[in-house]
Amino acid sequence: MSSALNALRVILVGMLDTEKRELLRGLPAVDAVLRMPAAVALAACHGTNATTAAVREALGRARREILAGGEPEASGETVCVAAAKLLSGRGLRRVINATGVVLHTNLGRSVLSERAMEAAVAAASSYSNLEYDLATGKRGSRYDHAVPLLKELTGAEDALVVNNCAGATLLALSAVVADAAGTPEVIVSRGQLIEIGGGFRIPEVLELSGARLREVGTTNRTRLSDYERAINEDTRAILWVHPSNFEIQGFTESVGVAELSTLGLPVVADVGSGALLPISDEPGVESAVRDGAALTIFSGDKLLGGPQAGISVGSSYWISAMRHHPLARALRADKLCLATLEATLSTYLEGTALEELPTLEMLHAPPEAIREKADKLAERITSVAPDLLIDVATSVARSGGGTLPLFEIPSYAVRLAGGAHDADALAGKLRLADPPVVGRVSEGRLWLDVRTLLDGDEDGVLRAVEAVSG
């Protein structure tokens, strides 16, 4: 009996292989697809090489599906459609953020203000005094830009801008331990040995700087006496890190920058988000400077609402050490960053940041205004997608970007369900729209949180939903 079963198995396997071979033979050739009008149009838009690569990839996916036992529809027309989807997903594109996460790291964090965009265009489309002293006619320094604004806003003696906050932290620690005899040590609380997005870990940054990590305290409790006992002849600095992407509650104790500054060592304070205006319990930059930090480090593209940048403010001695460290050149900011940062900082000095900066505007918009916005969008969607079940529900928006982990922002979302697609399929279709619309799926519905919609985004949402519904 077993031999008969084996023979039958061999016959069935042979039949399956024959079917697969027939399906594989039925796939169109790359050249044949590229001669089709749809492919010619794609090549005119995206280029011949990119279109050819997309067609090959689409055919490769079909082959893999056949070998896995599937029977994909793979005519020349469907391959062109698949190639078009692949091409549309490549490159940096505008995306409509309907997630309710304001500083969505995957979607680019802060949206620049109109003033900042105008500054970027001016810097990009013309020459500038990036490294030229107009008064003397001699070479200047890019490190001088934005410094007066940062000094006035924070009360610090000096400032330096590099390409991101991780770079600023590395540069600060490297400058502090530079030329130290023996093995320099930097003290940090165990409760502040954080990891942020992308695998950036504080212990690894300390190691790269050339310093030895000296951990004190415990995960949940660190006292001033823990720092005092750890200080020795090799100690060069104390690192204070704001755990901006998590929060420990309960039986906790920590030491602030003001207390640490009494120990006679430079305190490097990484406050993370760069809040220049009060929001929830986020530590402010100005407070860290006032409390005596030798260097205060923060991001430009988080709660500051500007471009990606790593900003350091503090004593002239340590800022100068950072400015002249060999790493400074590798981490320096470009002219677009400096131009947009100066434009962003100017809004704070003029008192218009809450009105001009999209990040702050979204974080502080009153719930009643968000409700009105949601009602109008729901009404418009209902008119073009009658087959969908549409309503407005209360939602919770988040700051995101590794900031304010427990801060809940009251919001409203338009919820979509029904029609020919379930919530996940509907979300997938909207992500393929032009521009893509990114929401979140919960409770069997697609939620489009309107707090993070920018001016004009409603039209894009409407077109995307109408296309899917139709």
Concatenated DSSP letters for 217-281? S-SSB--HHHHHHH--TTEEEEEEE--TT----SS-B---HHHHGGGSS-EEEEEES--SS--TT
- H or E stretch at 295: strand 295-299
Residue 285 has pLDDT above 60, yes or no: yes
Residue 397 lies in a domain: yes
- Render the burial of 15-39: b for 16+ CB within 10 Å, e for the rest: eeeeebeebeeebbeeeebbebeeb
The pLDDT tens digits for 77-105 are 888 888 888 887 677 889 999 999 999 99
77 and 151 in a single domain? The answer is: no
What pLDDT shows up at residue 84?
A: 86
What pLDDT shows up at residue 209?
A: 81
Task: Write out the two tokens for 124.
Answer: 């990009």
274 and 393 in a single domain? The answer is: no
What pLDDT shows up at residue 195?
A: 67
Concatenated DSSP letters for 152-183? HHH--SEEEEES-HHHHHHHHHHHHHTT-SS-
Cα distance between residue 239 and residue 228, in whole Å = 14
Residue 3 lies in a domain: no
What pLDDT shows up at residue 181?
A: 75
Greatest alpha-carbon pair distance for the chain in Å reads 99
The pLDDT tens digits for 206-258 are 777 888 888 898 878 889 999 999 999 999 999 998 876 556 666 778 888 99
Residue 166 lies in a domain: yes
101 and 224 in a single domain? The answer is: no
Residue 203 has pLDDT above 50, yes or no: yes
List Cα–Cα distances, 1 to 4, 9, 19, 66, 284, in angstroms: 5, 12, 27, 32, 80
What pLDDT shows up at residue 46?
A: 85
Return the half-sphere exposure (C-beta side, CA atoms, 13 A cut-off) of residue 315: 15
What pLDDT shows up at residue 136?
A: 95
Q: Strand, coil or helix: what is 381?
A: helix
CATH number of the domain bearing residue 163: 3.40.640.10
- Single out the residue of 299, 269, 257, 279 nearest to residue 402, CA to CA: 299
Q: What is the mean pLDDT of residues 176-197?
A: 81
154 and 241 in a single domain? The answer is: yes
Domain boundary among 330, 356, 382: 356
347 burial via Cβ count (<10 Å: 0-12, 13-18, 19+) = buried
Cβ partners under 8 Å of residue 270, min gap 6: 165, 169, 239, 240, 241, 242, 297, 298
Residue tagged 């909207």 (tokens):
430
| Of 27-31, 98-102, 165-169, highest mean pLDDT | 98-102
Cα distance between residue 206 and residue 183, in whole Å = 12
Q: What is the mean pLDDT of residues 145-151?
A: 96
**Cis ω on the peptide bond leading into residue 435 (within 30° of 0)?**
yes
What residues form DSSP beta bridges with 445? 442
269 and 129 in a single domain? The answer is: yes
Eight-class DSSP state of 312: E
State the residue range of the domain holding 371. 96-107+361-469
Residue 5 has pLDDT above 60, yes or no: no
Task: Write out the two tokens for 290.
Answer: 């006032």
Domain total for the chain?
3
Q: What is the mean pLDDT of residues 281-293?
A: 92
370 and 221 in a single domain? The answer is: no
The pLDDT tens digits for 263-275 are 999 999 999 888 9
User: Higher-confidence residue: 20 or 352?
Assistant: 352
Residue 6 lies in a domain: no
The model carries a pTM of 0.83
Residue 7 lies in a domain: no
Eight-class DSSP state of 106: G
300 and 375 in a single domain? The answer is: no
What pLDDT shows up at residue 13?
A: 45
Eight-class DSSP state of 199: G
Residue 4 lies in a domain: no
- Are the C-beta atoms of residues 252 and 217 closer than 8 Å to each other? no
Taken in order 427, 433, 439, 445, the sign of the CA dihedral is negative
388 and 311 in a single domain? The answer is: no
What pLDDT shows up at residue 233?
A: 92
Among the residue ranges 191-205, 276-290, 355-369, the one predicted with the least confidence is 191-205
CATH number of the domain bearing residue 368: 3.90.1150.180
Cβ partners under 8 Å of residue 44, min gap 6: none
Residue tagged 């900082």 (tokens):
345
Residue 434 has pLDDT above 80, yes or no: yes
Query: Both ends of the chain: CA-CA distance in Å?
Result: 57
18 and 145 in a single domain? The answer is: no
In which band, very low, low, confident or very high, does the pLDDT at 321 lie, cut at 50, 70 and 90? Answer: very high
43 and 137 in a single domain? The answer is: no
Residue 50 lies in a domain: yes
Cα distance between residue 382 and residue 416, in whole Å = 10
244 and 141 in a single domain? The answer is: yes
Q: H helices of 324-398, where?
A: 327-330, 335-349, 353-356, 358-364, 367-384
